[in-house]
Amino acid sequence: MLKKIVFKSKLSLLLGILALDSAFFMLTDPNRVSSILLMVGFLLIVATIYVLFDRLYLIAQLYGLALGSKPRRFSLIGTIVVAGLVGLQSMGELTARDLLVVVPLAIIMYLYLSYGKSRARSLTTTTGTN
C-alpha cells in the first residue's frame, strides 16, 4: 500500500515536471531569448533528467533489478553524464569518441563508488566500533 502511494506521488512529480518542460519550451524561442533563459532551460532539462533517472531506478526495483542501494547516487551519476552529453551536443562539440570515453567511465565510477561504500560499511560492521 505504501509503495503504491510513493509510486503515485513520484509519478505525479514526473508528470508535473514534464508539463513544466512543455510549457517552458513551447513559450520560448531559443533564437530570441536572453542567455539567462537558456541557462534556465538547461537547468530544467537537468532536473527532468534527474527525475527520469529516479523513476527508472524505481521501475528497475519493481522488476527486481538490483542497481545498488543508493538511488540518489545512481540518479546523480546518470544525470551528470547525460547533462554533460546534452551540453556538449548543444555546443556542437559532441563526438562519438566522447561517448566511447564518458559512458564506460561513468559506469566504472558508479561501480567503484558503490563498491567502496559497501566495502567500508562491511568493514565497520565486522570489526565493530568502540
Look up the pTM and report it: 0.75
CA atoms lying within 13 Å on the CB side of residue 47: 15
Model pLDDT, residue 65:
76
Which of the four pLDDT bands, split at 50, 70 and 90, describes residue 85? very high
The enclosing H or E element of 73 equals: helix 71-91
* Percent of residues, the chain, with pLDDT higher than 90: 37
**Cα separation, 18 vs 53, whole angstroms:** 14
Q: Which amino acid is at 54?
A: D
Q: Which residues contact 42 (CB under 8 A, 6 or more apart)?
A: 83, 86, 87, 90
What is the rounded average pLDDT of the residues 45-52? 93
Q: How far apart are the first and last CA of the chain?
A: 40
User: What nine digits make up the cell of 64?
Assistant: 527486481
What is the rounded average pLDDT of the residues 59-86? 84
